Amino acid sequence: MFAQVFITEFLKLRRSKVTWLTLAALSLGPLGIALMMWIVREPGRAAQLGLLGTKANLSGLTATWPAYFSMLTLVVGIGGMLLLSFIVAYIFGREYAEGTAKNLLALPAGRHWFVLAKLVVAAVWWAVLVVAVLAESFAIGAALGLPGFSATLAVSAVHDALLAAAVAYLLSPVVAWIAMVGRGYMPPLGFALAMLALGQVFSKTGWAIWFPWSIVPLFIGAVGQRVTTLAPGSLVVVALTFLAGIAATIAQLRYADNAQ
């Protein structure tokens, strides 16, 4: 039955503007970084064009591949975490916003299949976005002719971006649960923003490696001292958050009142 449910979850995305919107949003990341790199490299021309030359120079950026990759990881890590929350909020919350949740609940298909299928769709969607944006990033970086490229650097950058994306994904079932409890888009988006803010707060404390939403920012160096590998404790926290999110979402759909 999972296969049929999974197919229907993909079919629901037909003609959906949201898929293209998320691709456009994430694609803007590398373009934004490239613009900053160009401003750093060409401050005079940037100033002539009225761009933010002064601010870009003050940020201490250098127009090199290492700096470009570093910012890219930030974009995929922090921006991506929000975007993924948006995707999950859409996939789960739309059933309530569009009033179709009730049509899923009395069928010869266990409700847990819907939760699992939606999470797999989110994973595929997210993976396509991340891969597309990484490909775009390499193309833009090459077009800019940035210095300092090496295969080792590229592998490391891709590894970091994919790991940040994977950790962000593992936190997403909790967002799905909030979408179910809140029956729509806004509660999960509010939750994601709140967790991002809390992640920043916790990252300045000794609790950073234990708070799920601090782990991505810490790993990509968005806050505090960047960690190069995830602590075993952090991995356990993330894994438990993932499993708890799935269990809570399934329980919500199975046991809670689902009237709209």
Partner 1 sequence: MPDSMRWPNTKQATSSPQSEGIPGAAALSADTAIATRALTKRYRDVLAVDSLDLDVRRGEIYGFLGRNGAGKTTTIRMLLGLIRPSGGDVEVMGERVRPGTSDVFGRVGYLVEAATAYPNLTVRENLDIQRRLTRAPRGAVAEVIELMRLGELADRRAGVLSLGNKQRLSLARALLHNPELLVLDEPANALDPAGIVEVRGLLRSLASEHGVTVFMSSHILAEVAHLADRIGIVHEGRLLEELDRDQLRAQERLYVEVGVSEPERAATLLTDAGFAHVERADGRLRVFDAEERVPEMARALVGAGLDITELASVREDLEAHFLRLTGGVE
Q: Applying CB under 8 A, which residues contact partner 1?
A: 4-5, 7-8, 11-12, 14-16, 98-100, 102-111, 254-260
Contacts of 201 (CB under 8 A, 6+ apart): none
Instruction: Answer yes or no: are the C-beta atoms of 219 and 156 closer than 8 Å.
Output: no
- State which residue, 3 or 58, has the beta carbon closest to partner 1: 3
* Shortest distance, position 44 Cβ to partner 1, whole Å: 48
Under DSSP, the state recorded for 104 is G
Q: Among residues 98 and 193, whose Cβ is nearest to partner 1?
A: 98
List C-alpha distances in Å: 115 to 110, 112, 169: 10, 5, 15
- Specify the residue, 103 or 150, whose C-beta has the smaller distance to partner 1: 103
Least Cα distance to 223 among 115, 77, 87 occurs for: 77
Q: Based on CB atoms, which residue is closest to partner 1, 74 or 91?
A: 91
If the CB atoms of residues 159 and 254 are measured against partner 1, the closer one turns out to be: 254
CB of residue 259 to partner 1, shortest distance in Å: 5
Distance CA 93, CA 178 (A): 9
Please give the Cα distance from 112 to 102 (Å, whole number).
Answer: 15
The amino acid occupying position 166 is A
Q: Based on CB atoms, which residue is closest to partner 1, 41 or 118?
A: 118
Which residue type, as a one-letter code, is found at position 131? V
3-state helix, strand, coil in the chain (%, to 5): 75, 0, 25
Alpha-carbon span 200 to 216, nearest angstrom: 10
Angle between helices 111-144 and 2-11 (to 10 degrees): 50
